[in-house]
Chains A and B, each alone.
Chain A
Amino acid sequence: MLKEVLNQIKDSDYISKSKIAMNLNKSVDLIEDAFSQLVRMGYIRVNNIDNCNSNCSGCFLGNSCTSKSSTKSIIITDKGKQLLEK
């Protein structure tokens, strides 16, 4: 299942876990778990990309930061790419 999820990630422009769940006929929660497993095993890397609160805590200018949503970026690591090539 993990490789299938990885393949879905590779083929997406953006990640919709519900879409992946639908494609693989699994629950969204299960796909969430698969993501955690893939991160833990180093096949993908997840970054919070706009949580500026963490970037500028202690900075008085930080309050002016507009973006506080939880957008994440997913990067398929070299290990992940190797798995996809197999």
Chain B
Amino acid sequence: MADWLNKRRWAKQVLIGLLSCLIILSLLALPRNQDWMQGTVQRFYQQRQNLGAKLDRQSRERAGYGKAYQYVTLIKQHCKPTDYFLIPPQRYLIRKAYRIGASDGYAWLYPSVLYYHLGQSVQLLDMTMPDTALRRATFTFWVKKGTLELLRLTSANHRDVLATFRQYNPSFFAYTPEQARKYYRSTK
């Protein structure tokens, strides 16, 4: 009798288990859930397959930070802690080299993002600082023939660079690629 009851309890558990499966399958069959599971979640698993084996910090930072990684690495390679990096106005880069920064809207120019990546490896200068401070600038980013380059500031180019940067509002900030796109389109 006990054995029979045990079997019956198991049978009921299996039946309710089938109900669980049915509920899950019904939820998965709903179009949005299906799209999400087969799209986004599958893409994440794909990403893991491609990246999962790499465990070194550098590969992970390169993949995570995107283009910002290239630019901050460039600054770190060329600047010393005693150098002053002049943060160019975001509007300047958006207008002069939109295609290069379309995917991130140059949001990595945000002073705290640069500080997060660079720390004290270089001194950051903001365009709103007084002229006496800006005179100390030794590096900046400059657009030349549609490409972005790290420019060493010298007495020969210092004045021209500042004059160009001053044409753009230094307090403007596009936090998202959409905001950058909106600004870029408004200038066309």
Question: Do the two chains bind?
Answer: no
